[in-house]
Amino acid sequence: MEEKKEETMHVAIAVENVCKVYRLYDKPTDRLKEALKLTRKQKYHESYALSNVSFDVRQGECVGIIGTNGSGKSTILKIITGVLNPSSGSVTVNGRISALLELGAGFNQEYSGIENIYLNGTMNGFSEEEIKARMQDILDFADIGDYVYQPVKTYSSGMFVRLAFSVAINIDPEILIVDEALSVGDVFFQAKCYHKFEEFKRMGKTIMIVSHDLSSIAKYCDRVILLNQGVKLGEGSPKEMIDDFKRVLVGQYELPESKSEQSLVNDAEVQEAVQSQAAAQKRARQQSDGRETKTLEYGTQEAVIEEIYLTDDRGTQTNAIIKGLSFSICMRVRFQQDLPAPIFAFSIKTAKGTEITGTNTMFEKAFLEPVKAGAVKDIRFTQKMSLQGGEYLISFGVTGYEGNDFKVYHRLYDALDVTVVSDKNTVGYYDMDSKVVVRDAHEKSDLGDNIIKYTKIQ
């Protein structure tokens, strides 16, 4: 009993069996008739934005929520922050929440920036003196100058999100929730915000992020929750959930059929099927032909990748490539059906799942031909290895367009590992192979007039 109590204390957000149902009417008059009780016939049909969603977020975690548009990501955040009430289920929050949900939320368009800072601070339970103590930090982070004294209705979207995010992070939250709003800011402001996320994580604060920027999700999140059409498909490491999300995007992640939206929520067998399917897919990634593997594969199988390997600059098959030398990524594909114009592709990721680079035959304008059933093609991508020394994962794919429809014939995620051997690493993932010249300042510069000069302020 004591252990259970201690575990509960470390949960910042507990979401249990949350459903959100909207009543949709065919005509506005139907809504009016029902409100005035002028009809006994049901004039609406129910739409489930969320169906039996459950998860916990522990204190100090950074958790991301991903999914297609309309999957319920923003809805669950609004329920957690109290903007919406669930139709059923419960949400427990342990800690002070600060949320940046959407532009305009919590701000009065007629008020100035300063007045809105006081408004938001008061709504979050701060006194006027406490807000004044934080005011300079808010203004410094927002960095919008004298516009802070103007009505926010005159702000650009970038200025607005600067002020809103600055208020959200400077009111000493224990839980920070951000819904896609940072995509509005410029690149410098986004970098400053993500630096703040890292600072919050070091301080042990809890962060929830909804974003379509999968690279940021992979980099900053400890765990990711995948939603689709209001149903939680799974939760796990960023790499695992991002791979599953890509399957959803191309229609290769099948949900169990249900008789109706109502049955999807209340039918225990359907919910059990969703969980069983997720578990089976996880086992499939861990075991194939009796050996341990991390490869995730799917597709229509109209074309099948039969062989994959790497060769170094001498043509020798190897998984160790020396930085700075050329190497080739090779695949052999067998075609089971006639295909109009297959596209062969590869991508390279870090061990944590951040996609670094990749290309395909369509981008390279290297192969745009129809292929007959029974044909076998060898594809070789040759390039210079410019990645930093370390371990990377390579994914392969055969895809194509049939009319306007994009189809995945066969895709292998994280199918090969490659070790880059290097005696010189620079910053980041990619070495720009810079040539450095250092000379005395009095020598004539060949840079012309395109120079930015910085003067140190005394």
Same domain, yes or no: 236 and 319: no
pLDDT over threshold 80, residue 313: yes
147/23: higher pLDDT: 147
User: pLDDT tier at 399 (50, 70, 90 boundaries)?
Assistant: very high
What CATH number did the domain enclosing 42 receive?
Answer: 3.40.50.300
Q: Are 49 and 20 in contact (CB under 8 A)?
A: yes
For 269, list phi and psi in degrees, rounded to 5: -65, -40
Mean pLDDT of 373-393: 94
Write out the DSSP string of 304-329.
EEEEEEEE-TTS-B-SEEETTSEEEE
What's the CA gap between 87 and 48, in Å, rounded? 10
Number of domains forming the structure of the chain: 2
pLDDT the model gives residue 453: 64
**Residue 286, strand partner residues:** none
What's the CA gap between 217 and 213, in Å, rounded? 6
3-state DSSP assignment of residue 186: coil
Residue 103, number of CB atoms within 10 A of its CB = 14
pLDDT digits (tens, 9 = 90+) for 245-284: 888 887 776 654 433 333 333 344 434 443 444 443 344 3
What CATH number did the domain enclosing 327 receive?
Answer: 2.70.50.60
Closest to 331 (Cα-Cα) out of 300, 281, 297: 297
Same domain, yes or no: 278 and 402: no
Closest to 15 (Cα-Cα) out of 50, 62, 67: 50
Q: Would the pTM of this model clear 0.85, i.e. be above it? A: no
Q: Are 252 and 298 in contact (CB under 8 A)?
A: yes
Same domain, yes or no: 307 and 394: yes
What distance lies between CA 33 and its chain's CA centroid?
43
User: pLDDT tier at 449 (50, 70, 90 boundaries)?
Assistant: low
> 315 is in which domain, residue-wise?
297-421
Mean pLDDT of 282-294: 41
pLDDT the model gives residue 180: 73
Distances (CA, A) of 38 to 24, 35, 44: 18, 8, 14
Same domain, yes or no: 212 and 352: no
